[in-house]
Amino acid sequence: MAAAVAISSTVKYGIIGVGMMGREHLINLHHLHTEGVAVFAIVDPHVPSQDLALQLAQSFNWPLKVFLGHRELLDSGLCDVLVVSTPNMTHYEILIDIINHSKPHHVLVEKPLCTTVAHCKEVVVVNDKEEETVEASNMVEPVDLNAVEITDNIVFRKLLRGPRYFDPPNSGWGASFNCGEEGHTMANCTAAKRKKPFFVCGSSEHNAKQCSKVR
């Protein structure tokens, strides 16, 4: 009589990118450990980020396998669910590799899904074709694939937020945080510098050191 094969009830997670957001996911997933959730692997080429994630995992009693690249993690077959929390411009390549891999995975990707509308559409189309499950973090509205113009699509405008320090230069799709106009960044903005209100009292006339409400 053949021996029965034990089926693990643990949902095995892998986190691709363990910077600030990746480590936040590590903490949040630990809150679900009583529900059969465990992180088995991380991917990050940056050693300091690896070390911080490993310290966290050690406090959770989770021995993690460390990979330098996402393809190595995919080929290991170690995980059931993958969290993508890498810099935004890397999302497209990673998602396409995950979707096209021979082993199917559930995927949670930090917003934005991708950094161009064309790449977002391609990921959605390929995902549907391969019957994978890719979800974008905080994406609660359905994406209208017939909406081409970013300015007419509130969902894509939320996904394709303003430029960040790790985005490629001259990406052309952002808006200035200073004036709100598109086509240039805050660094290149010629408008008068906008005064930011102090978050405690709401005044634009002083900073934290001068505010009487924090004394």
Residues 6+ positions from 194 with CB-CB distance below 8 Å: 178, 179
With a cut of 50, list the residues of the chain below it in pLDDT: 1-7, 138-159, 165, 173
Both tokens of residue 76?
Answer: 């290991």
**pLDDT for the residue numbered 130:** 64
Give the other-Cβ count within 10 Å of 15's Cβ. 30
Strand arrangement, sheet containing 37-43 = 65-67, 37-43, 11-16, 81-84, 106-109, 133-136
Domain boundaries, the chain: 11-161, 175-215
Q: Which pLDDT belongs to residue 129?
A: 75
Select the CATH number that applies to the domain covering 11-161 from these four: 3.30.300.130, 3.40.50.720, 3.30.390.10, 3.40.50.970. 3.40.50.720
pTM over 0.85: no
Q: Say if residues 159 and 112 touch (Cβ distance below 8 Å).
A: yes
The per-residue pLDDT for 30 is 93
Which of these, 87, 97, 103, lies nearest to 44 by C-alpha position?
A: 87
Kindly give, in sequence order, each residue whose CB lies less than 8 Å from that of residue 58, ignoring residues fewer than 6 positions away. Answer: none
What per-residue confidence (pLDDT) applies to 188? 72
